[in-house]
Amino acid sequence: MKRAGLLALSLSIILTAMTACSGGTSPSEGGQGTGTTGTQNETKTSDGTGSSQGNEEPVTLKVLRAGITVTKDEFEKTLVQQTKEAFPHVTLEWVEAPEDVELEPLITSGEVPDIMFVSTTSIATTLADLDLAENLGPYIEQHNVDLSRLKPAVLDMLEKYSPEEGLAAIPFSVNLPVIFYNKDIFDKFGASYPPDEQMTWNQAIEIGKPVTRSDGGVDYIGIDLFGSSNIATGLDLFIIDPETGTPNVTTPQWVQVFEQLQKSYEVPGYIGADGRYQYANDDDIFFNEQNVAMVAYNLAHLLGPLEELRQQGVEMNWDFAPFPNFEENLGTGKAVNVHSLVVTKASEHKDLAFQVIANLLTDESQLALSKAGRVPTVEGAQFEDVFGQDIPVLEGKTVDNLFKAPPRPVIKPHKFESKVRKFLAEAEKSIAVDGVDVNTALRVAQEAIEKELVTLNNTSK
């Protein structure tokens, strides 16, 4: 899904105004905010989250997906179902957002949701810039939520991306990386499927070569590595040193990443006649055009949409293979990627919204999430053992391959990391389309990043 990047200033103004007049309450101010008059009688579960009991007045909480792939069906099977059981007086309203401008509804309608589905990395970038996410630290303490149950890599990521004074989100699911592959394309050309063992990137490119060809007017692509950002975290790389603020994309490891991309570009038939060198960045190419044999990316990127298509009668012949990495780091995949839930500062029901999202950490909710095709965030083999049981599109799929490249610990990037990533994208294009050598492309990128950082540092003062 394409991320929102527009109208941030307008949103910030609206949020400030709404927060000032919303009367939103903190945990010590009665829990449910000014919009609720009923009393809250709750029992604590063994996980520390609240289970609502009594005759509370109905409350509607608005929930928005912001910049990540969560389908309406996944929302219903996870958050809505679990909320109905624990908080029967609460109704969750799904707020639709346009593809291209995720935050536009907040601005055009003048309303801010109570809860947002977000990528955890956005907590320190977009959400921080907008001062949007409520600090959940006091709520976690009041409701005795036991975060030690989380997978260590998940908790580590939440802590690194949250403000120093607290925690900004409750994790929804781990978005593990995996290869989706189209079996029909391999069958069409009599080629071998990707193996059930984790491959190196070189091996993945070799597997894709026999199916990178034209046939019947269709250009088939073996694998698109999805750019430098998709593979660089397998080597724990960053563009700007988080500690010193100094960029260096000319190191041997960055050269290694770009030489890997270059190998994929050099496969005969990979570069399109129109100079096209990116394929997997189109969200629906795997199931719409069906001309890319392997897509190496995150699970949620395609699984939910594939299940939606199945419900519409559109089915593909596909399966999973483990996510590749460089030789030296086989046994792991990318840096951990977590989808999370935040409570907005403008919500009038912040305490109740927190209880709703914290309820997802109970054993019952984790089992339901996993069955619905979301990788659980709480530690425990019993949760992963039931993964995908309620998702018909996963019937017959090699689900075990999803867990063969566990995530690496995340390195919190420098605050300007996302703002200079565009220069690496330009380097990729110059190598793929213009034939520029790797060292030259990275040197040009380095110089552009250094210049951009001067501007960014001056304007942020």
Superfamily grouping for domain 178-334+411-459:
Periplasmic binding protein-like II (3.40.190.10)
How many Cα atoms are found within 13 Å in the side-chain-facing hemisphere of 154?
A: 22
Would 8-175+337-384 and 178-334+411-459 be classified into the same CATH topology? yes
Q: Sketch the domain layout of the chain as residue ranges.
A: 8-175+337-384, 178-334+411-459
How far is Cα 260 from Cα 319, in angstroms, rounded to an integer? 25
Task: Yes or no: say if 370 and 386 are a contact pair by the CB < 8 Å rule.
Answer: yes
> Which pLDDT score is estimated for 96?
74
β-strand 59-65 against 115-119: which pairing, if any? parallel
Q: 8-175+337-384 — its CATH code?
A: 3.40.190.10
* Residue (of 177, 192, 180, 120) closest to 307 by Cα position: 180
Q: How far is CA 259 from the centre of its chain?
A: 26
Task: Yes or no: say if 61 and 89 are a contact pair by the CB < 8 Å rule.
Answer: no
How far is Cα 82 from Cα 98, in angstroms, rounded to an integer? 26
Q: How far apart are the first and last CA of the chain?
A: 32
Residue with the larger pLDDT of the pair 344 and 282: 344
* Residue (of 43, 29, 132) closest to 340 by Cα position: 132
Say how many C-beta atoms besides its own lie within 10 A of residue 282's C-beta. 12
Residue with the larger pLDDT of the pair 27 and 119: 119
Percentage of the chain lying above the pLDDT 70 cut: 84
> Which pLDDT score is estimated for 118?
87
Residue with the larger pLDDT of the pair 301 and 21: 301
Element (H, E) at 424: helix 417-434
Check pLDDT > 60 for residue 425: yes
> Which pLDDT score is estimated for 319?
97
> Which pLDDT score is estimated for 32?
38
pLDDT in tens, 363-375: 999 999 999 999 9
Residue with the larger pLDDT of the pair 95 and 46: 95
Say how many C-beta atoms besides its own lie within 10 A of residue 319's C-beta. 20
Q: Which residues contact 379 (CB under 8 A, 6 or more apart)?
A: 149, 150, 151, 152
Q: What is the mean pLDDT of residues 455-461?
A: 87
The pair phi, psi for residue 70, each rounded to 5°, is -135, 120
Check pLDDT > 90 for residue 175: yes
Q: What is the mean pLDDT of residues 9-34?
A: 38
Check pLDDT > 50 for residue 30: no
How far is Cα 50 from Cα 104, in angstroms, rounded to an integer? 33
How far is Cα 436 from Cα 426, in angstroms, rounded to an integer? 11
Say how many C-beta atoms besides its own lie within 10 A of residue 321's C-beta. 25
Task: Yes or no: say if 185 and 211 are a contact pair by the CB < 8 Å rule.
Answer: yes
pLDDT in tens, 189-207: 999 999 999 999 999 999 9
Label residue 54 by pLDDT band (50, 70, 90): low
Label residue 108 by pLDDT band (50, 70, 90): low
The residue assigned the tokens 């083999």 is: 381
How far is Cα 56 from Cα 142, in angstroms, rounded to an integer? 20
Q: What is the mean pLDDT of residues 245-249?
A: 95
Q: What is the mean pLDDT of residues 388-411?
A: 94
Check pLDDT > 50 for residue 46: no
Q: What is the mean pLDDT of residues 211-233?
A: 95
Please tell me the total number of residues recorded for the chain in this structure: 461
> Which pLDDT score is estimated for 39?
28
Q: Which of 5-9, 201-205, 262-266, 316-320 has the lowest mean pLDDT?
A: 5-9
DSSP character at residue 253: H
Q: Is 135 left (phi over 0), alpha (psi -120 to 50) or beta?
A: beta
> Which pLDDT score is estimated for 47?
47
Q: What is the mean pLDDT of residues 99-124?
A: 70
Report the sign of the C-alpha dihedral through residues 446, 452, 458, 461, in that order. Answer: negative
Q: How high is the mean pLDDT of the chain?
A: 85
pLDDT in tens, 125-163: 777 777 888 999 999 999 999 999 999 999 999 998 888
Q: What is the mean pLDDT of residues 347-356?
A: 96
| Both structure tokens of 345 | 């500062």
How far is Cα 323 from Cα 29, in angstroms, rounded to an integer? 47
> Which pLDDT score is estimated for 75?
92
How far is Cα 439 from Cα 67, in angstroms, rounded to an integer? 33
> Which pLDDT score is estimated for 98?
57
The residue assigned the tokens 């394409």 is: 2
Percentage of the chain lying above the pLDDT 90 cut: 68
| Whether pTM exceeds 0.85 | no
